[in-house]
Amino acid sequence: MSAYLARLRLFDIPAFVVAKGDPTAGAVIVKLSTLDGSAKAFHRTYDLDFNRIWAELANGADQEVEAALAAQRATDPDLWVIEVEDRAGRHLLDEEGLG
């Protein structure tokens, strides 16, 4: 998680830890806010070849994505949530080393 936040800083993309989970075992969700009322949320999962990937968990109005995140946190109190703010929609999750 710290490597991801550092990489975002290199590109001057603001990001904040908005929910802290378990420091050793908590899953991470990344919320991307495009600052126009829309947002997306991404979580780690596996593709059909069992490779770890970032996949879209929610997409829509900011309030809808927040509701999806609240539901996830209700079932997983160890969950970390990072909010990324970028008008261009950059999240860097598809960059080498973050897959």
pLDDT tens digits for range 12-68: 999 999 999 998 888 999 999 999 999 999 999 999 999 999 999 999 999 999 999
pTM attached to this predicted model: 0.92
According to DSSP H, which parts of 1-99 are helical? 2-10, 62-75
Q: Where does the pLDDT of residue 99 fall: very low under 50, low under 70, confident under 90, or very high at 90 and above?
A: low
**Rama region for 53: left / alpha / beta (φ>0; ψ in -120 to 50; rest):** beta
Distance CA 55, CA 78 (A): 19
Burial class (CB in 10 A: 0-12, 13-18, 19+), 75: exposed
In the chain, where the domains are located:
2-85
Homologous superfamily of domain range 2-85? Protein of unknown function (DUF1491) (3.40.1530.20)
